[in-house]
Structure 1
Amino acid sequence: MTRAHLPGILAMAAIVVASNILVQFLFGQWLTWGAFTYPLAFLVTDVMSRVYGAGPARRVVFVGFVVGVVCSLIGTQIMGEFGPLVTLRIAMGSGIAFLTAQMLDVSIFAALRGGKWWRAPLASTLIGSCVDTAFFFSIAFSAQLAWLEPGNDVSWANEAIPMLGVGPVAPLWVSLAFADWLVKLSLALIALIPFRLIVRRLDPNGSAA
C-alpha cells in the first residue's frame, strides 16, 4: 500500500460504514437507503483495479471487509425494536457476500482490462452484483439455512407474497433481493460515467488502460 491508495481505502471504508447505517432506514416497501450507497463499493474497486492493478484493489477490498466486520460487531450490540440490529446470519451474509463478490469483481476486471474501457467495469460489476445479492439474501433470510442461527426467527422474511406486489408468489426475501438487484444493475450502468472521469483524472496518460 502507498499513499496513493489512501483515497481508495478511505472511500471504501466510508461506503461500508454509510451502508451499514443507511440499511436501517427504509426506502419505500422493498428497499433501504443502503441499497443506493453499497453498490458504490464496486466503483471504488474498479477504479483501483484500473489505475493501480489487482493487488492494491484486493487490499482495498480487504480493508472494506474488515470495516464491515467491525460494523457488524457493533450492530450486534445495539438493540432495536425486534432484537439486535445485526443478527449472526446478517453478519455472515454481509461478510461472505462482500468479500466473495468484490474479489470476483477484481478477478473479472483483470481478465477483461485489455478490451474496451467499459467492458471490464461493466462485466465485473454486473457479475459481482449478482453474486453479492444472491449470497447475502439467501444466507441472511432463506428458511433453508435456518440451521445457521436456530434462535433467529426469519419467518417474516419467508412469508409467501407476490414478487414486488405484482409478480408470482415467492418468499418476501426474494422480493427484497430482486429489488436490491435491480438497483445494483442500474447503478452499474450509471457508474460508468464517474468511473471514466475518475480514471482519466488519476491516469491522464491512459497508461493504466
Structure 2
Amino acid sequence: MLKQRTFALYVVLMTLVVVASNILVQYPLPGAIGPLQLGDLLTWGAFSYPVAFLVTDLTNRQFGPRIARRVVFCGFAVAVVLSVMLATPRLAIASGTAFLLGQLLDITLFNRLRTQGWWRAPLVGSLIGSALDTLIFFSIAFAPAFVVFGPNDPFALESAPLFGLLATEAPRWISWALGDLSVKILVGLVMLLPYGALMAVIKPMPGVKASAQG
C-alpha cells in the first residue's frame, strides 16, 4: 500500500511539473541585459522543466528503473495531451518526443551510475538528458529538415546574432536552444541540493541498488 501511494505521489508530482512547464513556456522572460532581450531567448518553462529530472531520479533511486519509466510514461501522456491542446501538431510532436527520450536517457544513465558518488548519477543523467531533450525539441520544432511535421516558423528561421550577443549569426531557433540548455544546466546543478537533502528520507527499496553513500 505504501509503495502504491508513493508511486501515485511521484506521478502527481511529474504531472504538476509537466502542466506547469506547458503553461510557463508561453511566457517569455521580461527585461534585458544590455542589447540582449531575455524574452528572445527564454521562457519561464526553462526553469520548471528540469524539476522533471529530479522527480525521475528520486523515483529511480527508490524503486529502480522499471517504476521510474512508468512515471515518465504517465508524464509523457500528460505532455502529449497538453501539447495538442495548447500548441500546433509540430510543437506537440517535438515536445512529447523530447520529453520521453530525454527522461528515458536520464533513467538509463542514472541506473548505470547509481553505485558511484551520490551526485554523479543525478547530475550526469539530468545534464545529458537535458541536452538530448533540447536538441530534439528545437530541431523537430524549428529546423527545416522536419518540415514534414508542419510549416516552418519564419521568425525562428531568421538570422540573428548567436545567443543574442555574439557576432556570428545563426537561425534564431539555435539561439533559443542555447539559452534553454544553459538554464537547464544551471537548474540541473541546483537540483542536486534537494536531491542530496532527500537522500536521508528516500531510501532504495529492498532489491534496488543504493549509491556509494546510501
Which residue does the alignment assign to 2:191?
A: 191
For residue 204 of structure 1, report the CA deviation from its aligned partner.
Answer: 9.2
Q: Equivalent residues in 2 for 1:1-209 (5 A)? A: 2-27=4-29, 28-29=38-39, 30-75=41-86, 86-149=87-150, 152-167=151-166, 168-203=168-203, 208-209=210-211
- 1:158 Cα deviation from its structure 2 partner: 0.6
Shift of 1:107: 0.6
Farther off after superposition, 131-140 or 46-55: 46-55
Q: Which moved more, 1:158-167 or 1:13-22?
A: 158-167
Using the TM superposition, give the Cα deviation of residue 185 of structure 1 relative to its aligned residue in structure 2, in angstroms: 0.5
- The corresponding residue for 1:83 is none
d(CA) in 2 for partners of 1:115 and 1:207? 11
How far apart are the structure 2 equivalents of 1:108 and 1:204? 17
Q: Give the fraction of aligned pairs with identical amino acids, expressed as a percent.
A: 45
Aligned residues between the structures: 197
Alignment TM-score, normalising by the size of structure 1: 0.90
Identify if the C-alpha distance between structure 1 residues 155 and 193 changes in structure 2 by more than 3 Å, giving closer, same or farther. Answer: same
Root-mean-square deviation (CA, aligned residues, Å) is 1.7
**Take 1:157 and 1:106, find their aligned partners in 2: how far apart are those partners?**
32
Name the aligned partner's letter for residue 60 of structure 1.
Answer: V
- Structure 2, unpaired ranges of 5+: 30-37
CA contact (8 A) 1:51 1:199 kept: no
Check the 8 A contact 2:143/2:152 in 1, yes or no. no
Unaligned 5+ segments in structure 1 are 76-85
Q: For residue 47 of structure 1, what is the amino acid of its counterpart?
A: L
The one-letter amino acid paired with 2:17 is I
Question: What amino acid is the match of 1:18?
Answer: A
